[in-house]
Structure 1
Amino acid sequence: MTGVPASAAGGSSGAQGARSTAAAADGVASEVSGSASASGTAAPGRSASGGESASGRSAAGADATAEGRPPRGGKITAAAVNQASVWNVANLLTMLRLVLVPGFVALMLADGGYDPAWRSLAWAAFAIAMITDLFDGHLARTYNLVTDFGKIADPIADKAIMGAALICLSSLGDLPWWVTIVILGRELGITLMRFLVIRYGVIPASRGGKLKTLTQGVAVGMYVLALTGWLASLRFWVMAAAVVLTVATGLDYVRQAIVLRRQGIAERAAALEETEA
């Protein structure tokens, strides 16, 4: 009888063993698949070996989107997209307003501060600053351009241009100092109060506050121009209305701050009681 070489026998045995192992694995996979299908517990997009396929990940992401939940990594991606650049149009308008402040002062005080031509140029700079004030905040909120820089720089720019105009007018004798003190004192005081109560909430800008800002801008602009006759008399009454609105809205903000603080303290006390209970 012819003998079979040991290497060939070993190879045949190894091949048979591999085929047996593969058949067993196929049988196990079939059983697992069949049992999973019968029990309804198979996770969509899972392969027989338990790994997650690309189609499964896509299906899971679609399901999460359909349910209103962001897919995995969605929050990180959204946060990266929502990080507005500091050099956006809203912040550029705020920077322009800050740059206009020293330019306005130089134009206002040029040639002794009483030259109609220089005062007209100063009024133009003031008008541009006030117009940009109307648009930068709106653009930031509408197009999601709100940044930490804008939150800090915008109120500073507002107070700077208004304060510079009032101080220049009082220094030139065109406006009584008490008017400047009342307006600037109110603006600085309300800004400080907002920071003090921010732990309890944010005091929103009211319609009265917006009307006050508009009236102040018109009144100061009329004083910056070298007006005479009935226009000079009209600007007095416009400024009087601005002062009244300044005081009235300031008192209303103080009332809102007191109410907001009381509500915040009450809510914290209630939350502490629930925690102790």
Structure 2
Amino acid sequence: MTGVPASAAGGSPGAHGAAAGAASRRPGADRVAGAPRASRASDSGGPGGLAGTGEANRSAAGQGGDRPPRGGKIAAAAVNQASVWNVANLLTMVRLLLVPGFVALMLADGGYDPVWRSLAWAAFAIAMITDLFDGHLARRYDLVTDFGKIADPIADKAIMGAALICLSGLGDLPWWVTGVILGRELGITLLRFLVIRYGVIPASRGGKLKTLTQGVAVGMYVLALTGWLATLRFWVMAAAVVLTVATGLDYVRQAMVLRRRGIAERREALEESEA
């Protein structure tokens, strides 16, 4: 047994060098593969090596698998933007707060002082401008909320109704004009709710033109105008009343068509299910 070569007992120096070289090359290979240091520290094999690899895999899973995707932060930001406290809803709230301020300015000093009427016109103009912007911002930047759906039409009706009632109370505008405009606005709002089970009545170009004409006409009546400007505002208000009635009748027609179509579709679906 004493004659056994050294290479059989403990391995040749070349074999030891090859093993050492292989062991020294493994960390480099791991660095190329991007493996964690925990797996490189236990590359000698056996249970320790398997445990190290498992810990490295769990570490990689914890770093990559449990981490939310990059798009998750963007989606969360979009949800946060659609909260109640967004720009569109703030503009709507400003318009609601302007209503009592407008009434106070309109009726100040008996309601006929040109200076107070000019300030009331400024408040009315700001309310009309915010009405144009809040809906646009809500639709463009996906800021539509349940609060906005309810508060926006209320704010619109509130500022317009307050202006019309103040003007008729002061004798500047006939009561029948106020009745026609407010009756149409409240009636169409109620009609939309009645037929919402069949669909939504979209806003038409005539309706937008009606709103613009009403705003201009009421604004001209809020100002203490005389001469040819007073005559002009009469005709602008007349155009607003005509558009109010015409668009109101058109909405009634659309509601009837929508209801008839919805009933027919439900009947067809019921017949198909029974067949």
TM-score range, shorter chain: 0.7 to 0.9
Instruction: Return the match for 2:117 from 116, 119, 131.
Output: 119
* Equivalent-residue separation in structure 1 for 2:133 and 2:77 (angstroms): 26
Bigger Cα Rg: 2
* Equivalent-residue separation in structure 2 for 1:156 and 1:272 (angstroms): 38
Who is 1:5 aligned against? none
Letter in 2 for 1:226: A
C-alpha deviation, 1:100, in angstroms: 0.1
* Equivalent-residue separation in structure 2 for 1:142 and 1:274 (angstroms): 40
**Root mean square deviation, CA, Å:** 2.5
Q: When the two structures are superposed, what TM-score results if normalisation uses the length of structure 1?
A: 0.72
* Equivalent-residue separation in structure 1 for 2:78 and 2:87 (angstroms): 17
* Equivalent-residue separation in structure 2 for 1:154 and 1:86 (angstroms): 13
* Equivalent-residue separation in structure 1 for 2:187 and 2:176 (angstroms): 16
Who is 1:207 aligned against? 205
Structure 2, gaps ≥5 residues long: 1-59
* Equivalent-residue separation in structure 2 for 1:167 and 1:202 (angstroms): 30
| Conserved 8 A contact 1:98-1:161 | yes
Who is 1:38 aligned against? none
Matches within 5 A, 1:21-100: 78=75, 81-82=78-79, 84-100=82-98
Matches within 5 A, 1:138-177: 138-177=136-175
Letter in 2 for 1:170: S
Letter in 2 for 1:121: L
Who is 2:222 aligned against? 224
* Equivalent-residue separation in structure 2 for 1:79 and 1:196 (angstroms): 35
| Conserved 8 A contact 1:82-1:144 | no
SS of the equivalent of 1:160 reads helix
SS of the equivalent of 1:175 reads coil
C-alpha deviation, 1:78, in angstroms: 4.7
* Equivalent-residue separation in structure 1 for 2:77 and 2:164 (angstroms): 42
SS of the equivalent of 1:214 reads helix
SS of the equivalent of 1:157 reads helix
Q: When the two structures are superposed, what TM-score results if normalisation uses the length of structure 2?
A: 0.73
SS of the equivalent of 2:226 reads coil
Rate the CA distance shift 1:124–1:257 in 2: closer, same or farther, 3 A.
Answer: same
C-alpha deviation, 1:271, in angstroms: 1.0
SS of the equivalent of 1:86 reads coil
Who is 2:231 aligned against? 233
* Equivalent-residue separation in structure 1 for 2:136 and 2:152 (angstroms): 12
Structure 1, gaps ≥5 residues long: 1-53, 60-70
Letter in 2 for 1:179: V
* Equivalent-residue separation in structure 2 for 1:258 and 1:247 (angstroms): 17
C-alpha deviation, 1:85, in angstroms: 1.0
| Conserved 8 A contact 1:223-1:235 | yes
